[in-house]
């Protein structure tokens, strides 16, 4: 296993409520799976029980934040606002914490240097990245770069930009570079003055690092589940509110009345449900239903210094704001302004229906009316969801996979009636692949094409391997992950999805994807009758050569053929029969403790996927483990031998693959348990015993050679 003795995690935190503490605890627990020491740093006190969870703790009692009275000196202006009908709410930030975070990093980085650590992996407390993707995107990349950054705005870090920047809530950096960069700014004046605009943290570190190195790498990490920067301070967007996508702001009007302003959903991320919240403020103790896609304002009574506003969702406190200012100072920071002009325009009722991440209905009308809405599955005539809805609100069923929908809308206090069936003919449909795995991509793309043909629709598809697919599927428009696509009528996401408890998310899956073929995941989500379909891959290889190509590596040890002599015995046999053996795995010899077999021809590390595909297609046989290379070979109609014990034999394709598995020992854990991506040596039944990885240890070279003889027609 790779040695991480020279690595350290640094977590910057400022914990002033229970929600932030929960986020930090979840992050620490996730990082512990890497067995890398953790340093906690910040300027707010941290509970003893949290300090005991980590290896080191640094507390900066100075906390050199920039206060609002200093804003004019440094050209800082921090305000958010919302315009409701006849009301405007403005909330000003009381302080600017960029320089305080800079000093937190300075303290931490210099301490890491003192500890002799070579690689720093930095987090803000409110990140919970996918462990496998994080390890590959940051921990492994920093061994090839000096600074691995994350861009939340594409190309924002390009050196050709006038004012480049990167995200500061997650990055990895070599300690020597970090110390030089962070120590290059000596004080607050150097941090803020003579800078092109008013926010500096994201730019100062990137620009400071580039004074000492140009070896800066943009991390390939893709945030799929809103798992990064979850409690962004500026708009409180994505704040962890016990699962509720809900924004909460306080404001005071000219009569000194205190209001709570609620906004359902976050920017670009609508709420999944209505939320029943409890508001407590002095004598005000009431429940309110926050309907999806609505904004509301609640008068809590007169502002009273020394009181606190508390909000609860499902019994958990999601807001606790202490009123420590005099009313006039609080009002200057948080204003509710009434407009004297109120224009009402009479418009006819309008019904908006789409199927973007589930069926959506919106009813727009100027008069107050109520409607009953039913979302019906036409295949079995069952009502999947129904509710009563007031106009100027919207409703959405939680099931996001394809269903043959019938939507019925019936007026309650009016005679309106509408039935609408899903019909995607000639409409644009966006299908997103949520996995970066090349094997998943190859397994799923045939069903996107089948969906296009069956539904007679226009498909836009995002994958991480568009260059491999675009020429073979000319009727599909391929776009990169994260691309904004307009004028779509439906959206479906293909992947394996879990809820917060790491259980299968059945709002996105018809059946348990762990207990069916990988290819069937896509057909289920897209509502297709299942049949195994091979993809169309580009033909880049020429005539067959006396070559056998192999793939020996995977993304976890359970995926390997753990027979210690197996690969070498197979290679020796092929060499003796006059075959050149091409090793296609990109990992270096000794990767995570796994040696490459000798007497093979290794593909260059920088080989493109097209170059690898060419070798596969010119080979007479491919032998590998359950990885993307095996799917490439299968998709290219190449004779394929698959060695795997951790997946059941129904997981991979049945046609065109000779599968080798030993059912006489423990096997198929992948299909029975929730995989822990942070544990490289994951073996749920026998880890730490002599039976660890017996599923593949007990597959012999003789079994593999027998299949080789059959495939190559060797007597």
Please give the Cα distance from 254 to 283 (Å, whole number).
Answer: 21
The 8-class DSSP code of residue 488 comes to: -
Please give the Cα distance from 78 to 76 (Å, whole number).
Answer: 7
Q: Please write down the long-range contacts of 149-156, taking CB distance under 8 Å and 24 or more positions apart.
A: 149/206, 149/216, 149/217, 149/218, 149/219, 150/218, 150/219, 150/221, 150/228, 151/218, 152/228, 152/229, 154/482
* Cβ-contact 81, 91 below 8 angstroms: yes
For residue 77, the tally of other CB atoms under 10 A from its CB is: 10
Please give the Cα distance from 93 to 678 (Å, whole number).
Answer: 38
Dmax (CA) for the chain in angstroms is 96
Element (DSSP H or E) covering residue 338: strand 334-338
Owner of token pair 């704040």: 239
Please give the Cα distance from 12 to 107 (Å, whole number).
Answer: 11
Q: Reduce the secondary structure of 541-563 to three states and give it as a string.
A: CCCCCCEEEEECCCCCHHHCCCC
Please give the Cα distance from 381 to 406 (Å, whole number).
Answer: 9
**Of 178, 180, 150, which is closest to residue 165 (Cα–Cα)?**
150
Write the CB contacts of 226 (distance below 8 Å, at least 6 apart in sequence): 238, 269
Q: Are strands 360-364 and 547-551 parallel, antiparallel or unpaired?
A: unpaired
Q: Is 298 helix (H, G, I), strand (E, B) or coil?
A: strand
Q: Is 160 helix (H, G, I), strand (E, B) or coil?
A: coil
Please give the Cα distance from 324 to 67 (Å, whole number).
Answer: 16
Please give the Cα distance from 178 to 127 (Å, whole number).
Answer: 21
Residue of 124, 130, 440, 524 with catalytic role: 440
440 a catalytic residue: yes
Please give the Cα distance from 336 to 297 (Å, whole number).
Answer: 10
Active centre residues (catalytic): 440
């Amino acid at each position: 296993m790779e040695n991480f003795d020279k690595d350290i995690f640094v977590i910057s935190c400022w914990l002033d409520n229970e929600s932030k503490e929960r986020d930090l605890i979840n992050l620490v627990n996730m990082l512990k799976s890497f067995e890398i020491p953790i340093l906690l740093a910040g300027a707010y006190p941290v509970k003893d029980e949290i300090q005991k969870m980590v290896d080191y703790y640094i507390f900066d009692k100075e906390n050199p934040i920039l206060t609002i009275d200093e804003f004019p000196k440094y050209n800082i202006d921090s305000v958010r606002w919302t315009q409701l009908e006849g009301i405007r709410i403005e909330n000003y930030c009381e302080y600017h914490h960029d320089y305080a975070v800079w000093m937190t990093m300075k303290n931490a980085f210099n301490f890491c240097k003192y500890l002799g650590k070579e690689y720093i992996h930095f987090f803000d407390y409110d990140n919970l990245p996918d462990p496998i993707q994080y390890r590959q995107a940051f921990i492994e990349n920093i061994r090839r770069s000096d600074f691995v950054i994350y861009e939340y705005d594409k190309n924002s870090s390009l050196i050709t930009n006038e004012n480049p920047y990167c995200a500061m809530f997650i990055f990895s950096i070599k300690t020597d570079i970090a110390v030089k960069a962070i120590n290059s700014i000596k004080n607050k004046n150097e941090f803020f003055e003579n800078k092109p605009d008013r926010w500096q943290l994201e730019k100062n570190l990137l620009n400071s690092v580039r004074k000492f190195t140009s070896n800066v790498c943009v991390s390939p990490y893709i945030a799929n589940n809103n798992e990064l920067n979850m409690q962004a301070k500026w708009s409180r967007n994505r704040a962890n509110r016990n699962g509720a996508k809900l924004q909460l702001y306080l404001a005071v009007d000219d009569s000194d009345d205190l209001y709570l302003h609620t906004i359902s959903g976050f920017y670009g991320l609508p709420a999944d449900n209505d939320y029943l919240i409890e508001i407590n403020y002095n004598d005000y103790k009431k429940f309110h239903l926050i309907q999806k896609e609505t904004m509301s304002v609640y008068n809590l009574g007169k502002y009273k210094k020394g009181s606190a506003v508390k909000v609860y969702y499902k019994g958990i406190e999601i807001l606790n704001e202490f009123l420590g200012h005099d009313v006039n100072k609080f009002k200057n920071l948080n204003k509710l302004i009434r407009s004297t002009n109120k224009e009402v325009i009479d418009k006819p009722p309008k019904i908006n229906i789409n199927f973007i991440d589930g069926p959506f209905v919106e009813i727009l009308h100027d008069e107050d009316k109520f409607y009953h809405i039913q979302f019906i599955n036409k295949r079995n005539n069952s009502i999947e969801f129904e509710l009563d809805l007031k106009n100027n609100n919207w409703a959405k069923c939680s099931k996001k996979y394809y269903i043959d929908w019938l939507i019925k809308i019936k007026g309650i206090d009016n005679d309106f009636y509408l039935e609408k069936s899903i019909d995607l003919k000639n409409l644009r449909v966006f299908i997103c692949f949520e996995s970066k795995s090349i094997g998943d991509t190859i397994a799923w793309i045939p069903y996107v094409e089948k969906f296009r043909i069956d539904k007679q629709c226009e498909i836009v598809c995002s994958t991480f391997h568009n260059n491999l697919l675009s020429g073979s599927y000319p009727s599909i428009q391929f776009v990169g992950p994260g691309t904004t696509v307009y004028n779509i009528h439906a959206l479906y996401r293909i992947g394996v999805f879990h809820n917060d408890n790491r259980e299968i998310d059945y709002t996105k899956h018809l059946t348990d994807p762990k207990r069916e073929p990988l290819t069937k995941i896509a057909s289920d989500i897209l509502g297709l009758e299942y049949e195994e379909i091979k993809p169309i891959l580009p033909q880049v290889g020429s005539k067959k050569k006396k070559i056998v190509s192999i793939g020996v590596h995977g993304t976890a040890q359970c995926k390997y053929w753990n027979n210690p002599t197996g690969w070498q015995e197979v290679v020796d046999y092929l060499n003796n029969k006059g075959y050149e053996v091409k090793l296609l795995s990109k990992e270096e010899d000794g990767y995570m403790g796994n040696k490459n077999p000798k007497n093979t021809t290794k593909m260059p590390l920088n080989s493109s996927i097209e170059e690898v595909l060419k070798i596969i297609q010119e080979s007479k046989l491919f032998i590998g483990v359950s990885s993307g290379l095996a799917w490439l070979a299968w998709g290219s109609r190449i004779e394929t031998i698959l060695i795997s014990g951790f997946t059941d034999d129904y997981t991979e394709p049945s046609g065109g693959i000779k599968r080798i598995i030993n059912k006489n020992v423990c096997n198929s854990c992948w299909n029975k348990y929730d995989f822990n991506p942070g544990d490289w040596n994951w073996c749920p039944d026998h880890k730490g015993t002599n039976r660890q990885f017996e599923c593949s240890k007990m597959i012999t070279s003789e079994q593999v050679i027998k299949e080789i003889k059959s495939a190559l027609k060797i007597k």
